[in-house]
Structure 1
Amino acid sequence: MLPSTLLDSDHLEPGERFEFWRHALSTVIAPMEITSDRTADFEGRMRLIMLEDIHVFPVTMRAAAARRTARLIRQSDPDLLHLALLAPGANPLAVSQHTARDVTGPGELYLVDTSRPFTVRATSSGLPLSGHCVEIPKSRLSLPPRTPVGRILGRSLSGTRGFGGLLAHLLGHLGAQHHTYRPSDAPRLATALTDLVTGVITQNLDAGPPPDPAVAERTRFLAIKEFIERHLADSALTPAAVAAHHHLSTRHLHRLFQQHGTSPAAYIRRRRLEQAHHDLSTPARTPIQTVAHRWGFTSHAHFTRAYTRQFGVSPTRTRRRVLDQQRPGS
């Protein structure tokens, strides 16, 4: 699985939790002054996922405020963009940086630059803060010189339309499925994430598509993979259906996948098998045929053959190993 670290205040005594969380946020993002009205019963949890020099983390925490000052910037500046996407039902955040003062609500996102002072605070002390955050080096972004990124810093941006919607889907997917990837996948995921953040910026600046044609092509490929991920359970998902949805010829679709050493059909089959393998490797006693159907296989015999070729062991043997491990004394 991808390198990740769980940071959870729950294992600490109540009086130690806020200081633990204050230190964690200042380490992961940048040094900040963090305050909260809920220090006595503070709770926070994040799963820090490392994609090379990019950090991604789903987070849930009590209401708080964070302030990055000029003094703290002089002391330490990681030269990052901090992006936060708020989850449905999350506490809206009042964000200010540069000339912007805005409120970001559920389903929306904002960007701030760690090299400039900013303030982020919860608008209600009673609602939790929850969402997905990205810490990305500014040097990674494929932006032309003098791109006026400052125009969108601190402003509320859509997390449901355009590149914002695609980015939101990727972040949700990484939070839920990070364990299904290998460490060697991290560079490709980092590139995909970088392209999407670049797309969010240029789209919101009305600067048109990303300036590098290679970035646009990688973004298209990512959109195709995300579409496949959302529809793995649909037995009608075929290369022809994928190509039609993205207004491509099947030949063009095959060419895109060939650049990554596979074919559309092989990629769909591999992702279905990986999801089925994950389900069969858990203690749940869901029937094997149900698992196969859940991930788009209409023939149990075909699923068994494909699974055995992929993993070198049958679905039945996988399930038996898991159940044997659950027996007392095993």
Structure 2
Amino acid sequence: MLPSTTADTARLEPRERFDYWHQMMSSVISPLDFTSDAAPDYQGRIRLTPLDGVDTFPVMMQAFQCHRTPRLIRRADAELYHIALVGPGSSPMAVTQSTGQYLVTPGTLYLTDTSRPFSVLATQPERYAIGHCVEIPKRRLDLPRDAPVDQLLARPLAATHGFGALIAQFLTHLQQQHHAYQETDAPQLAATLGDLITGLITHTLDTTPPPDSETAERTLLIAVRAFIERHLDDPDLKPAAIAAHHHISTRQLQRLFQRQGTTPAAHIRQRRLERAHRDLSSLAHARTPIHTIARRRGFTSHTVFTRTYTRHYGRTPTHTRDLALNRRRPTP
């Protein structure tokens, strides 16, 4: 049987889980800034199967944001490519690297380079991130030195045909049949996987058309939403600052959200309310004053927060907390 290691946060005390998971992801992929609204009781599971220096792992974890920053790259860089197959039922992933920001949906692959800054965001907090990942040293791929791999970074890559489908089938098979192989089979399995990834990159580079205007707009919206998620708790987050960061006018930003049936301010308010609602419904924050939760989630006025929350959810923040406590109180 191939050697493998399973890590599951359910084996730990709730207060220990997030830090453990952060360290696990940073050691398996590369050092990362890793955050999650579910941090007080984080759920994640991974089974790591190393194949002669190439790591593969199916993973399931709660919604998260991770960033590979220039500071972390300077600290340590193993020069890897990270390839991820987003699995059925997973939250779509907003992936940003180089000049690309894309939404990667279930049944699709994406590629990132650990030697460059990148970010990955699970876009639907209520759903788990599910997938199968590969960490492979760049030197293990038979690519021309001048191959413009940066053109593919963060982009959705098809996993339903061609080399993408073969990679998806290989990873699924390995997940289901890892017990059928011996440790001595690992070098051949790693070589096969490396050949498939090389084929995916070279074939995609040969057949990739330039992005159209609709794709460019969708990409920009993903980048804007990811930026908002990273700075959501900052009370100074305003449309003008968002527009300036992305080198567009405030009017362009408004039009971008108008096509989604909302406005930048309404989107920010909605996401802040959702985070506050999750805090109020969690026992981990049961002793945190409601005005403190409101302030942490970007609301500068407790009165405005209470009024906005009540209008949106049909009950007061206090009522939400009472309901959460009553659900968890044992029946006499």
With normalisation by structure 2, the TM-score equals 0.62
Residue 198 of structure 2 is aligned to residue 198 of structure 1: yes
- Structure 2 CA distance for aligned equivalents of residues 160 and 19 of structure 1: 36
Residue 35 of structure 2 is aligned to residue 35 of structure 1: yes
* 3-state SS of 1:145 partner: coil
Q: Show the counterpart of 2:99.
A: 99
Letter in 2 for 1:93: M
Q: Show the counterpart of 1:139.
A: 139
* 3-state SS of 1:199 partner: helix
* 3-state SS of 1:116 partner: coil
* 3-state SS of 1:206 partner: helix
- Structure 2 CA distance for aligned equivalents of residues 193 and 118 of structure 1: 23
* 3-state SS of 2:206 partner: coil
Q: How does 1:153-172 map to 2 (within 5 A)?
A: 153-172=153-172
Q: How does 1:319-330 map to 2 (within 5 A)?
A: none
- Structure 2 CA distance for aligned equivalents of residues 82 and 206 of structure 1: 21
Q: Show the counterpart of 2:16.
A: 16
- Structure 2 CA distance for aligned equivalents of residues 105 and 136 of structure 1: 22
With normalisation by structure 1, the TM-score equals 0.62
Q: Show the counterpart of 2:115.
A: 115
- Structure 2 CA distance for aligned equivalents of residues 207 and 48 of structure 1: 33
**5+ long unaligned stretches in structure 2:** 209-332
Letter in 1 for 2:60: T
- Structure 1 CA distance for aligned equivalents of residues 203 and 88 of structure 2: 23
Letter in 2 for 1:76: A
Letter in 2 for 1:104: V
Q: Show the counterpart of 1:177.
A: 177
* 3-state SS of 1:155 partner: coil
Q: How does 1:31-110 map to 2 (within 5 A)?
A: 31-110=31-110
In the TM superposition, residue 151 of structure 1 has moved relative to its aligned partner by 0.3
Letter in 2 for 1:143: L
Q: Show the counterpart of 2:273.
A: none
- Structure 1 residue ranges (4+ consecutive) displaced by more than 2 angstroms after TM superposition: none
- Structure 2 CA distance for aligned equivalents of residues 130 and 207 of structure 1: 28
* 3-state SS of 2:5 partner: strand
Q: Show the counterpart of 2:236.
A: none
- Structure 2 CA distance for aligned equivalents of residues 175 and 105 of structure 1: 20
**CA deviation digits over 1:188-215, x for unaligned, max 9?**
100000000101111111179xxxxxxx
* 3-state SS of 1:165 partner: helix
Letter in 1 for 2:89: G
In the TM superposition, residue 98 of structure 1 has moved relative to its aligned partner by 0.4
Percentage of identical aligned residues: 51
**CA deviation digits over 1:121-169, x for unaligned, max 9?**
0101100000100000000000112000000001111111110001000
In the TM superposition, residue 41 of structure 1 has moved relative to its aligned partner by 2.4
- Structure 2 CA distance for aligned equivalents of residues 36 and 159 of structure 1: 28
* 3-state SS of 1:66 partner: strand
- Structure 2 CA distance for aligned equivalents of residues 170 and 64 of structure 1: 27
Q: Show the counterpart of 2:151.
A: 151
- Structure 1 CA distance for aligned equivalents of residues 7 and 204 of structure 2: 33
RMSD over aligned CA atoms reads 1.1
- Structure 2 CA distance for aligned equivalents of residues 14 and 145 of structure 1: 47
Letter in 2 for 1:195: D
